[in-house]
Structures are given as structure tokens and as C-alpha cells.
Structure 1
Amino acid sequence: MTTPLFLLRCVQLGLSIRDLDLLTIGMVNDMFAESRNDDYKYREVATQKDFDLF
């Protein structure tokens, strides 16, 4: 990943330069990947009961 692409991803996520003091490159990449899944409609969503059983 190039620096301009990394900074573009940060802007797309709404991160500031100050936020980058607290985040790693990997964390930003994970946040961007997960943000692409926000509109996906899952057939089944886990409930608190499911987490308790886990």
C-alpha cells in the first residue's frame, strides 16, 4: 500500500491525523475492510444469548 492510498483510506473512514497517533496501519486496514461490510444484510445475526452460549 502506498502512502497516498493509505491517506485516502483514512479520509474515507473520517480519521484525522490526531487519530493516527492511536492506530496502526493494520488497524486502519481492518477498519476499512469492515466498513465495506456495513451494508451487507446477514440472514442471521447473533443475539446476547448466542454470545452467552459461546
Structure 2
Amino acid sequence: MEQADALQPRVGVIDLRQISSQELLNNKKELLIVHNGQLYHLRETRNGKLILTK
């Protein structure tokens, strides 16, 4: 999949929320997320990729 295609809404998906990683991380390198009582770490790597770990 080309990167430009990743920004296009998928067919059949209605009212899908989109947020930039910069806004989500708030200029930090790591974010803690609580999901169903479990703690997850969303981290930006040195190469600018995102990693979600439990």
C-alpha cells in the first residue's frame, strides 16, 4: 500500500476519527494508554515509526 493511500478513508468506514501522531503524543516520545484495564505504551522510535506494546 502506498503512503498516500493510507491517508484515504477505507470504503465502508463512516465517521472515522483521524488524529495526527504529533497531536496524540503532544511533542513527547511516549504515551501511556489504558484500554480495557490494561496499560499500553505508544512510542515513537528514532526512525519516526510508532510501536504499541503492552
Scaled by the length of structure 2, the TM-score of the pair is 0.24
| Greater C-alpha radius of gyration | 1
> Higher strand share goes to which structure?
2
> Which gives a bigger RCO, structure 1 or 2 (Cα 8 Å, sep 6+)?
1
Scaled by the length of structure 1, the TM-score of the pair is 0.24
> Higher helix share goes to which structure?
1
